[in-house]
């Protein structure tokens, strides 16, 4: 059995659940949710045992290297967490859905997951486009799912319009690249770009459009405007999915595309690098600085997610250095692996507060620690890691990015990143401080299930363990992805 | 498994246990007491040896090479001893406060121990940050001022120390990148030091990196002009936090200069523009802050500013760079830590009992609190540098060591020593005046205080005895530093 059967299986399971919901209304949503979770968990367990051989006809547009396998696992873990959070948030979410139904919230994530897994293996731009659309179109539905809530609808409309626009730009870029290089596959593009005879202006225009289109998906400045509204309006589980899953998917495609654009001898290498450095610097600043003035924690996390995207783009701008065992794609993967537990944990906290009748504003966090020491500690760990406090996973990711920038002598970008990190300390610790304040309102003790406690505890532990013992993760990500392309 | 790993882990585990609901006082007292015993044991074992001992390394990444590596030489053991002593006293004197006081004290102490006993730059930096966070939180949440004011103080401290840490991180990263020799990045301090011995950097680059590190570490130690966070922070911080931060954590910046900056960049410190800048800054600490301290109207203000001022002497030793001066600096770091923790602890008690620390409202307290007065006198006289107490030994070695190169012409360094000596006079003026005003003479407003219960005197007696013992026998500590620093 090969990995792509898992992906097909997941998509099929999503369709089956959709049909069950439509024609068997008496099946409870808990059953549906648990089935979806069981399916995803099974796929995750089978993933390491799947063969990595591909039939000959697939090889031109599909690959199974270390990076692809890593992102497939990443997508599955994210989906599992999102599905569980959806189940936990169901009592609150159903108030805003039609007839209190939730089925698509369990089936669509499976289809999104299949799309993200497929995308990680993409070897040409057509596959990228198809899988990206599979993911994005599913997200249009998910974002607007709480349709009785005006915020969710607003978020849905914004995401739809900007998403469609970015898709258009992306296709336009793909067309130009095809025109310039005569190739759709990343290998072919790389080969053409290394050839000085290729038209530089055409290729550059296409690459820039492609980067703009992908920039929308990963929320890179100046295409980040939609993020705060959409993240705030979407149901919290969907926000997690957008912020972790969709972002990781965007970055895997970016990694692949940049591997081609920045191939040794590429005629557009220096321009693309400059573009990345400027975009990355802008993104960290435009994410971090506005975040300092947010009063809604959910919105704050949205801005923080923009700023994290900025660090990742800066990491991509640092091409491979002999001084690290991690390639720049590896650093991005490492950063995302540390970003997953901390972001999901932060949103878990938000979701659980919502279910218990609290809001998502800073004032709702005031005095949280008094009656909920465990929840407060978990959120503290998550936010400290997002801020990049040493001994948490978040610090190492940032350290790699900073060292890479310093190693290449990108001092301007480095100073922007440092300013953004300093601002980050302010807004994350503002929230932490609020939680431990003793004066003011009394937050009641919140209740949440044992499984949720365990899941959140595991996420927190993984943040702390990765912060002091990152070696296993580095083992997974190395040697450099290109070196072990498995045929 | 090294004994140092247990020493680092114990307070952190105890903090976790207290958070999880274990009885706060017995657990934290037990852990700090055991920790003091362990450090004493390690110190006795180390006596007579040289170089790093108790080393153990657990790699966490291969490239860039990072490892959880522990190891201690005389300097780190002296500072570990200081940490465990002050931690025991700080935890002991907590009375009827929420558990978070114990947790914070254990975390600050544990973080400081980690910073002093690890030998990997990554962990040295990380443990220091770990210790800073509870400091900020405690000032903001339990500081002794109105909520708005203590939050302002906490943010001021956070911004200063956060910015200082970032500058420090930049300097450390720069050093790591420069020293790793092109191939592989390493954060291992020993490897970096070897590299510095074998292939030293060009002198002007050494000077630049040293200056960045000086500003970074200096901000953490309240080096003039990056000092203005310190006085309000210590005046506002809850007692155990003030004791631990001023007594122990602030020494981290000095320790970093001594352990990282000076060995890696030995010539950088002696480049004229760097040395002159440092001399000017430390004169700011001693003379400007000395005058500020003389004009303080409250005891906590006096103490906080005097603690800033005394850092100047230690920087003088770094500027001089002679072996005697550096050893004196380590001695003074220990002595200052113990004495300032002693006075801050007593000062916190006074504030709890009297509700004010204004000189104009206090007087004649010795009448009903003779034991308290004697303990306070120990701290005061140590700060002034009275012979027989440790501070004297340290200051004497620094002054003598810094003046050692005198050959008939006075250099900038020698002029600085001459000016710095006036700091001793200023300390005597403000400390003795405060002591006389508070404890002797008539009661100004009818406020009076009584001696603490016997069990509450123990932590202070412990610190005072330490000052006396190491003051009379400074060789106890100096023997731990047999080789040149």
Q: Are residues B392 and B418 in the same domain?
A: yes
Structural domain including B243 reads: 1-268
pLDDT tens per residue, range B417-427: 999 999 989 99
CA dist B452 and A139 (Å) reads 67
Domain's final residue, options B268, B287, B307: B268
pLDDT attached to residue A242: 92
Q: Which residues of A touch B127 (CB under 8 A)?
A: 390-391
Closest chain B CA to residue A420: B166
Q: Are residues B262 and B283 in the same domain?
A: no
Listed range (A290-304, B83-97, B324-338, B360-374) with the worst mean pLDDT:
B360-374
Tokens describing residue B242: 């003030």
pLDDT attached to residue B337: 93
Q: Are residues B184 and B213 in the same domain?
A: yes
Q: Are residues B298 and B219 in the same domain?
A: no
Contact A429 B136 (CB under 8 A): yes
Query: A24-38, A140-154, B24-38 — which one is most confidently predicted on average?
Result: B24-38
Tokens describing residue B243: 């004791």
Q: Are residues B102 and B215 in the same domain?
A: yes
Query: A64-68, B81-85, B138-142 — which one is most confidently predicted on average?
Result: B81-85
pLDDT attached to residue A440: 65
CA dihedral A182, A187, A191, A193 (to 10 degrees): 70
Element containing residue B71 per DSSP (H, E): strand B66-72
Q: Which residues of B touch A323 (CB under 8 A)?
A: 63-64, 180, 183-185
Would you call A378 helix, strand, or coil by DSSP?
A: helix
A370 reaches B (C-beta below 8 A) = no
Mean pLDDT of A341-353: 89
Q: Which of A324, A373, A377 sits opposite B63 (nearest CB)?
A: A324
pLDDT tens per residue, range B169-182: 889 988 888 887 65
Closest chain B CA to residue A403: B173
Residue (of A277, A329, A287, A281) closest to A308 by Cα position: A287
pLDDT attached to residue B340: 93
Residue (of B278, B272, B161, B276) closest to B214 by Cα position: B278
From B402's Cα to the closest Cα of chain A, the distance in A is 37
pLDDT tens per residue, range A190-244: 999 988 888 889 999 999 999 999 998 899 988 888 999 999 989 899 999 999 9
Q: Are residues B479 and B383 in the same domain?
A: yes
Q: Are residues B163 and B240 in the same domain?
A: yes
Closest chain A CA to residue B155: A426
Domain's final residue, options B237, B268, B299: B268
Q: Are residues B257 and B349 in the same domain?
A: no
Q: Which long-range contacts (CB under 8 A, 24 or more apart) does A50-57 make?
A: A50/A1, A50/A2, A50/A3, A50/A5, A50/A6, A51/A1, A51/A2, A51/A3, A52/A2, A52/A3, A52/A486, A53/A2, A53/A487, A54/A2, A54/A4, A54/A487
Q: Are residues B98 and B138 in the same domain?
A: yes
Listed range (A101-105, B248-252, B255-259) with the worst mean pLDDT:
A101-105
Q: How many CB pairs under 8 A join A and B?
A: 73
Q: Which of A399, A436, A471 sits opposite B59 (nearest CB)?
A: A471
**ipTM (interface pTM):** 0.84
Q: Are residues B391 and B427 in the same domain?
A: yes
Tell me how crowded residue A284 is: count the other CB atoms within 10 A of its CB: 30
pLDDT tens per residue, range A407-456: 888 889 999 998 998 888 889 988 888 888 877 667 777 777 888 889 99
Q: Are residues B82 and B1 in the same domain?
A: yes
Sign of CA dihedral A371, A373, A376, A378: negative
pLDDT band at B411 (very low <50, low <70, confident <90, very high): confident
From B331's Cα to the closest Cα of chain A, the distance in A is 30
- The number of folded domains in chain B is 2
Tokens describing residue A173: 């870029």
């Amino acid at each position: 059995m090969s990995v792509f059967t898992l992906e097909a299986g997941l998509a099929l399971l999503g369709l089956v659940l959709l049909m069950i919901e439509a024609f068997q209304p008496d099946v409870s949503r808990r059953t549906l949710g648990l089935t979806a979770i069981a399916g995803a968990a099974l796929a995750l367990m089978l993933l390491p045992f799947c063969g990595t051989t591909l039939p000959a006809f697939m090889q031109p547009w599909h690959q199974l290297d270390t990076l692809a396998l890593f992102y497939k696992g990443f997508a599955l873990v994210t989906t599992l967490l999102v599905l569980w959070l959806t189940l936990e948030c169901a009592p609150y979410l159903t108030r805003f859905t039609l007839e209190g139904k939730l089925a698509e919230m369990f089936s669509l994530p499976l289809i999104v997951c299949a799309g993200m897994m497929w995308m990680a293996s993409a070897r040409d731009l057509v596959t990228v486009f198809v899988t990206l659309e599979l993911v994005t179109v599913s997200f249009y539905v998910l974002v607007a799912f709480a349709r009785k809530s005006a915020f969710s609808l607003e978020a849905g409309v914004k995401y739809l319009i900007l998403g469609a626009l970015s898709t258009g730009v992306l296709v336009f870029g793909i067309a130009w690249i095809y025109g310039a290089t005569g190739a759709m596959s990343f290998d072919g593009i790389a080969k053409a770009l290394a050839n000085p005879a290729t038209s530089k202006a055409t290729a550059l225009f296409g690459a820039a459009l492609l980067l703009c289109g992908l920039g929308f998906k990963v929320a890179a400045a100046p295409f980040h405007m939609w993020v705060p509204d959409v993240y705030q309006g979407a149901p919290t589980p969907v926000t997690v999915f957008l912020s972790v899953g969709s972002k990781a998917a965007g970055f895997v495609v970016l990694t692949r595309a940049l591997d081609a654009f920045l191939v040794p001898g590429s005629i557009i290498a220096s321009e693309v690098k400059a573009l990345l450095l400027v975009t990355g610097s802008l993104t960290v600043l435009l994410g971090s600085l506005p975040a300092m003035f947010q009063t809604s924690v959910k919105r704050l996390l949205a801005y923080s997610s923009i700023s994290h995207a900025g660090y990742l783009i800066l990491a991509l701008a640092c091409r491979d250095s002999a001084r690290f065992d991690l390639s720049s794609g590896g650093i991005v993967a490492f950063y995302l692996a540390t970003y997953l537990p901390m972001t999901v944990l932060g949103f878990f906290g938000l979701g659980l507060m919502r279910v218990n009748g609290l809001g998502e504003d800073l004032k709702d966090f005031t005095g949280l620690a008094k009656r909920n020491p465990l929840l407060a500690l978990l959120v503290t760990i998550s936010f400290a890691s997002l801020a990049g406090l040493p001994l948490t996973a978040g610090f190492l990711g940032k350290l790699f990015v900073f060292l890479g920038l310093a190693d290449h002598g990108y001092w301007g970008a480095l100073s922007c990143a440092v300013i953004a990190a300093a601002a980050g300390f302010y807004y994350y610790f503002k929230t932490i401080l609020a939680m431990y304040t003793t004066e003011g309102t009394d937050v009641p003790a919140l209740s949440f299930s044992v499984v949720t406690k365990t899941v959140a505890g595991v996420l927190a532990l993984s943040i702390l363990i990765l912060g002091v013992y990152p070696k296993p993760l580095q083992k997974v990500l190395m040697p450099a992805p290109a070196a072990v392309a498995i045929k | 498994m090294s004994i140092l790993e247990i020493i680092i882990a114990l307070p952190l585990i105890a903090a976790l246990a207290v958070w999880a609901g274990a009885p706060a006082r017995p657990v934290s007292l037990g852990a700090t007491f055991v920790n003091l015993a362990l450090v004493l044991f390690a110190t006795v074992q180390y006596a007579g040896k040289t170089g790093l001992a108790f080393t153990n390394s657990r790699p966490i990444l291969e490239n860039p090479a990072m490892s959880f590596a522990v190891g201690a030489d005389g300097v780190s053991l002296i500072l570990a001893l200081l940490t465990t002593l002050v931690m025991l006293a700080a935890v002991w004197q907590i009375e009827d406060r929420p558990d978070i006081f114990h947790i914070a004290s254990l975390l600050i102490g544990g973080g400081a121990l980690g910073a002093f006993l690890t030998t990997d730059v990554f962990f040295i930096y990380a443990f220091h940050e770990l210790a800073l966070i509870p400091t900020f939180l405690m000032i903001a949440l339990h500081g002794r001022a109105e909520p708005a004011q203590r939050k302002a103080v906490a943010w001021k401290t956070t911004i200063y120390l956060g910015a200082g840490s970032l500058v420090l991180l930049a300097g450390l990263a720069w050093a790591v990148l420069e020293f790793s020799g092109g191939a592989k990045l390493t954060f291992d301090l020993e490897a970096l030091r070897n590299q510095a011995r074998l292939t030293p950097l060009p002198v002007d680059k050494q000077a630049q990196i040293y200056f960045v590190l000086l500003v970074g570490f200096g901000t953490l130690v309240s080096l003039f002009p990056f000092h203005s966070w310190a006085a309000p922070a210590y005046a506002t911080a809850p007692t155990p936090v003030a004791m631990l931060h001023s007594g122990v954590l602030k020494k981290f910046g000095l320790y970093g200069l001594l352990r990282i900056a000076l060995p890696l960049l030995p010539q950088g410190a002696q480049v004229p523009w760097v040395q002159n800048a440092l001399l000017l800054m430390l004169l700011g600490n001693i003379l400007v802050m000395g005058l500020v301290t003389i004009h303080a109207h409250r005891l906590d203000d006096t103490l906080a500013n005097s603690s800033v001022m005394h850092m100047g002497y230690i920087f003088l030793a770094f500027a001089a760079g002679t072996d005697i001066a550096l050893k004196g600096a380590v001695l003074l770091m220990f002595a200052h830590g113990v004495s300032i923790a002693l006075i801050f602890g007593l000062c916190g008690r006074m504030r709890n009992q009297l509700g004010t620390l204004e000189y104009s409202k206090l007087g004649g307290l010795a009448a009903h609190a003779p034991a308290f007065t004697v303990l306070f006198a120990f701290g005061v006289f140590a700060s002034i540098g009275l012979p027989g107490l440790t501070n004297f030994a340290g200051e004497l070695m620094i002054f003598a060591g810094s003046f050692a190169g005198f050959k008939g012409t006075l250099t900038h360094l020698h002029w600085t020593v001459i000016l710095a000596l006036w700091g001793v006079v200023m300390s005597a003026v403000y400390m003795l005046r405060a002591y006389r005003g508070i404890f002797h003479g008539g009661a100004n407003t009818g406020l009076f205080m009584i001696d603490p219960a016997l069990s509450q005197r123990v932590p202070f007696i412990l610190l005072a005895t330490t000052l006396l013992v190491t003051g009379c026998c400074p060789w106890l500590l100096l023997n731990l530093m047999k080789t040149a620093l």
